[in-house]
Amino acid sequence: MAAKSFDLIVIGSGPGGYVAAIRGAQLGLSVAIVERENLGGICLNWGCIPTKALLRSSEVFHLMHRAAEFGLKADNIGYELDEVVKRSRKVAGQLSGGIGHLMKKNKITVVMGTAKLAGEGKVTVKTDKGTEELTAKNIVLATGARARNLPGLEADGKRVWMYRDALKPPHMPKKLLVIGSGAIGIEFASFYNTLGAETTVVEVMDRILPVEDEEISKFAKKQFEKQGMTILQKAVVKQLDRSDAKVTAHIETGGKVQKQDFDTVISAVGIVGNVEDLGLEELGVTIDRTHVVTDEYCRTGVDGLYAIGDVAGAPWLAHKASHEGVMVAEMIAGHDVHPIKPESIAGCTYCYPQVASVGYTEAKAKELGYDVKIGRFPFIGNGKAIALGEPEGMIKTVFDAKTGELLGAHMIGAEVTELIQGYVVGRQLETTEEDLMNTVFPHPTLSEMMHESVLAAYGRVIHI
């Protein structure tokens, strides 16, 4: 069979791949996209979206228990875990189907199968009907990443889970151990803890949510402990002894190893890039710790071959992948583009309370040599937060004392994942403290705290 020729081939249909394909098609390129499992990739099917659906269910469950605070009555509060999971899968399925519609709308050729680079500009795809050959001057790798399995902590799908198992649990944990306190670990810990699991989180670093500002990490730890979680920092799970009914974890803290029994363990210890069996080494692509090495324009060094999203390294965020997809598609189409600034990409964690940040932490800014001004504002000082019954939280801003540049913003509390974009836009526009202070924020909104935090950095705060 003769090879099918395109202007652009995208390998992987996650939030980087499908967006790159759509943008390329919009710009007049003939585009093929190869997917080995589900359109939408891990994010839509097994990551960002279904986890948020689960967390929404746990949030509503939590609010139902607080009904009396709002003058409401709710008796015999409970949940059906199967129905919670069913809703989550339905949401994921709806969005995955939507990607299929977008492919048809933009006249993108979808090839379901496993791709391999067969040389510059050449891709072979193993499908259920055989092997297809595709050619294109430009190829975008958007193969994503998968959960890391540590020796001795491997998932078995029964008592020891990875994220996929936790999204379709075979049982409701009674006593849960979560290994790792990054976004994935903390979100699952928050979900299952809210539904009643006795939850312990083990983090090897000296604080949970280690990529966040230290103040935010400390605040989060206090809130999680108030909710009944046990947080073990500077701790390592050395071994898991498994039986049909339980898992015995050997946890080392302070040089001493203690054994604790759990009925369920979730391993959330990072990710590895999907770089195997793609033919990358044969083409001379550089791979560093399971990730494809690229320049700021996502070029791999091999003519016409690009890598975007998780497979190209940190930050491992869907919105970063999507933006890279647009940038690469526009560059291939001959447009002038601007490279992404990783420090201006927001990170969001959808636990309770939510956490969001963009830019430098206070410690990082000082490490880089900045003389900083710091602003802080608590949720308790905001009328909307009190009206919502969400007075626990804070917003912290970091400014360059010399220029007024917004260096970073860090938040914890209700709906901060929706608020952070204001500061993201500010950084993109190179906003100074004067611009932000002269902006009129609507009342009553949570966003007023963003304004107050800026004012606080310059000794002008109003409501505390």
**What are the φ and ψ backbone dihedral angles of 154, each rounded to 5 degrees?**
-60, 145
- State the catalytic residue, choosing from 101, 171, 335, 443: 443
User: CA nearest 268: which of 160, 357, 143?
Assistant: 160
Answer left, alpha or beta for residue 136, where phi above 0 means left and psi between -120 and 50 means alpha: beta
Looking at the chain, the number of H-run helices and the number of E-run strands are 14, 24
Residues 6+ apart with CB under 8 A from 68: none
List C-alpha distances in Å: 320 to 91, 280, 311, 323, 346. Answer: 22, 23, 12, 5, 9
Prior bond of 353 cis (ω within 30°): yes
The DSSP 8-state label assigned to residue 402 in this structure reads T
- Catalytic residue status for 443: yes
* DSSP strand pairing (394-400 vs 347-349): unpaired
Q: Give Cβ neighbours of residue 276 (< 8 Å, ≥ 6 apart).
A: none
CB 411 within 8 A of CB 351: no
Distance CA 260, CA 308 (A): 41
Residue type, 328: V
Q: Give the span between the Cα atoms of 374 and 249, in whole angstroms.
A: 41
Give the contacts of 330 (CB within 8 A, at least 6 positions apart). 23, 27, 337
Looking up tokens 């009342």 gives 443
39 touches 100 (CB < 8 A): yes
Distances (CA, A) of 35 to 9, 122, 126, 187: 11, 16, 11, 27
Q: Phi and psi of 54, rounded to 5°? A: -60, -45
Which residues, in sequence order, are CB contacts of 282 under 8 Å at separation 6+? 117
User: Taking the CA of residue 52 as centre, how many other CA atoms within 13 Å lie in the half-sphere pointing to its CB?
Assistant: 14
Q: Are 178 and 201 in contact (CB under 8 A)?
A: yes
Q: On the CB side of 368, how many CA atoms lie within 13 Å of its CA?
A: 15
Catalytically active residues, by annotation? 443
